[in-house]
Amino acid sequence: MQRCGLRPQTLILDTHCSKKSQRVVPRLLPPLNALRAFESAGRLGSFTKAAAELGVSHSAISRHVRGLEARLNVHLFRTQNSGVALTDQGRTYLTEITPAFDRIALATEVLSVPPKGTVTLTTETTVAQKWLIPRLASLKTRHPEIDLKLSVTTKVMDIEAHDFDIGVRYLRTGSVDGYHLLFQSEVRAYAAPGFAPISDGKLDIEALARGPLIEEATFSLWTDWFKRVGLNEVPDLKLPHPLGALLAIQSAVAGLGAVLMDKNLCGPELQSGVLVELADIEIPFGGYYLAVNNRAGRRKAVRAVCQWLLDECASN
């Protein structure tokens, strides 16, 4: 009987302890604005760049960081001649904070509206005019709220230093760390219809070698092409001063000579019929690669444009 009488008391005590153990303990979190200021300044290595990224003043970044340091009782940055640098404790803290912000941003984007905003892309003139621009209608259909701004130049721009989101550039060598292959450069011979000499219904290779040829500055491969097409003894080719790709293509369209060109860069001319291929001979010569700014890669719109570029190349 005593054992039965003790059971209700035991149950009451157990229930009481269970309720105490379930008491909610709040997370120990510093103010979000202070964390954002620290993470941005640490990732960018500059209070000034952090202020620009977050749309606040330099003094606001400094105030938030100093407040965070006082709250944590640690030094997160040290001052140096070129600005600020993370301390060991600051670097350790940043390695945890940045992935946390990235996960929050990604989770938010998954639930948010479709990708939108401005994305900046830098590339060379020929790629922009001959390959990229003819495809932009596809991007607008797929992502109508993304505004793609092109920076076209003959120079290879440092996307990090010049704050571009994406770069599309030609690389002669194979795969490079940090770059994603868009398409291989496949060089072939083209000319205007009726330009190439024909003998017995076939291309007269020897006559072509004696005739006017257009030398494009990047693809200086005529000797190699003639050997591949079966000309055992290649004569001294009368090659003019090399031209840029756009001028070389236009010169071939005008009937001034045959040209060796990446087939990806003369697609419009081949589709319209103003250029024709002379022989089924292809010379692999590097490729065009996608480079993404590490900072910009966090943005949903940037990732969407990158995926669109990769899909466009996969479908061709």
Q: End-to-end alpha-carbon separation of the chain, Å?
A: 86
Lowest mean pLDDT: which of 50-64, 146-160, 250-264?
146-160
Cα dist from 117 to 49, 146, 156, 176, 313, whole Å:
20, 5, 25, 29, 23
Rounded to two decimals, the pTM is 0.65
pLDDT for the residue numbered 132: 94
More confident residue, 18 or 13: 18
What's the pLDDT score for residue 83? 77
Per the document, the length of the chain is: 316
pLDDT digits (tens, 9 = 90+) for 208-225: 998 899 988 887 899 999
Q: List, for residues 176-191, the tens digit of each pLDDT value.
A: 667 888 998 999 999 9
Q: What pLDDT, on the 0 to 100 scale, is given for residue 1?
A: 40
Q: Domains, the chain, ranges and CATH?
A: 32-111 (1.10.10.10), 115-316 (3.40.190.290)
Q: What's the rounded mean pLDDT across residues 40-44? A: 92
CB 265 within 8 A of CB 249: yes
pLDDT of residue 21: 52
Residue 11 banded pLDDT, cuts 50, 70, 90: very low
- 316 vs 314: CA distance, rounded Å: 6
Query: What are 105-154's pLDDT values in tens digits?
Result: 878 877 766 788 899 999 998 999 999 999 999 999 999 999 999 988 77
**What mean pLDDT value characterizes the chain?**
86
With pLDDT > 90 as the criterion, what percentage of the chain qualifies?
53
Q: Tell me: the pLDDT tens digits for 237-248?
A: 888 888 889 999
Spatial separation of the C-alpha atoms in residues 227 and 230, rounded to whole Å: 5
Amino acid 188: pLDDT = 94
Q: pLDDT tier at 47 (50, 70, 90 boundaries)? A: very high
pLDDT tens profile 280-301: 999 988 889 998 888 787 788 9
